Amino acid sequence: MANLQGEDLAKVHSFRFTPAGKAERQQQVHEANIRLVHDPEGRLRLTLWIKTTRPGETSDDRGVEGWDAPVIIAFASAPLDLPAGDFGAITVADALPADYWGERFLYYWDHEDFAQASMTIAGTGDRRDITLEARCTAGNAVAFEASFSE
């Protein structure tokens, strides 16, 4: 599998973040790396690295009055059994152990575990579309839609 980083290969279409007790907001995406990789045993895994901030901010703005921490998703799935070519939406969470989501996938001021998550992946040709909705143990919530090519 190729490194799937770049504007033409990995694209986050929307990234919504709801801090605990506050209103939902769209985040600005600064980095996105989404790949399907084979582990040393040859099993297929999905890896995600998405770094976002409030619109107009960067992670370098630390210390500026009103600055808010970036929201980062870092995810490496358990082995997946995905078909090649075209396939309808598969709920990836169903393919993972029940306790798998408690692995500190989200960073916002501190690492957080997902208390509840639902992720799907669908395929058309070599394009893969991903959706994720998750709520963290700290009460923050995140949702995004992304696509990448193999």
Choose among 124, 36, 133: nearest CA to 79: 36
* The pLDDT of residue 70: 86
Mean pLDDT along residues 64-68: 78
Q: Is 45 exposed, middle or buried, given 0-12, 13-18 or 19+ CB atoms closer than 10 A?
A: middle
Choose among 7, 22, 148, 140: nearest CA to 71: 140
Domain ranges of the chain: 10-149
pTM of the model: 0.81
Q: Which amino acid is at 106?
A: L
Long-range contacts of 117-120 (CB under 8 A, 24+ apart): 117/93, 118/91, 118/93, 119/91, 119/92, 119/93, 120/89, 120/90, 120/91, 120/92
Choose among 31, 146, 40, 15: nearest CA to 92: 146
Q: What is the tens place of the pLDDT at every residue in 5-53?
A: 444 458 999 999 999 999 999 999 999 999 888 888 888 888 888 999 9
Residues 6+ apart with CB under 8 A from 122: 87, 88, 89, 90, 128, 129
Q: Is 106 exposed, middle or buried, given 0-12, 13-18 or 19+ CB atoms closer than 10 A?
A: buried
Q: What is the tens place of the pLDDT at every residue in 77-113?
A: 777 888 888 898 888 765 555 556 555 577 887 777 7
* Confidence tier at 150 by pLDDT (50, 70, 90): confident
- Give the span between the Cα atoms of 86 and 92, in whole angstroms: 16
